[in-house]
Amino acid sequence: MAPRSPPPTARALFVDRDGTLNPDLHYLKEAERVELYRGVGPAIRLAHQCGHLVVCVTNQSGIERGFYSAEDVAAIHARINERLRPFGTRIDAFYYCPHAPESRCACRKPGTLLFERAAADLGIAFAESAIVGDRPLDIEAGRRLGLLTALVVPPGHEELLAAEVEREGTRPDITASRFGLAVARILARG
Q: Which residues are catalytic?
A: 16, 18
Q: Are 132 and 142 in contact (CB under 8 A)?
A: no
Burial class (CB in 10 A: 0-12, 13-18, 19+), 85: exposed
Closest CA to 149 of 103, 189, 101: 189
Burial class (CB in 10 A: 0-12, 13-18, 19+), 73: buried
Collapsing DSSP states into helix, strand and coil, what is residue 69?
A: coil
Beta-carbon contacts of residue 159 (< 8 Å; ≥ 6 apart): none
CA distance 159 to 140: 19
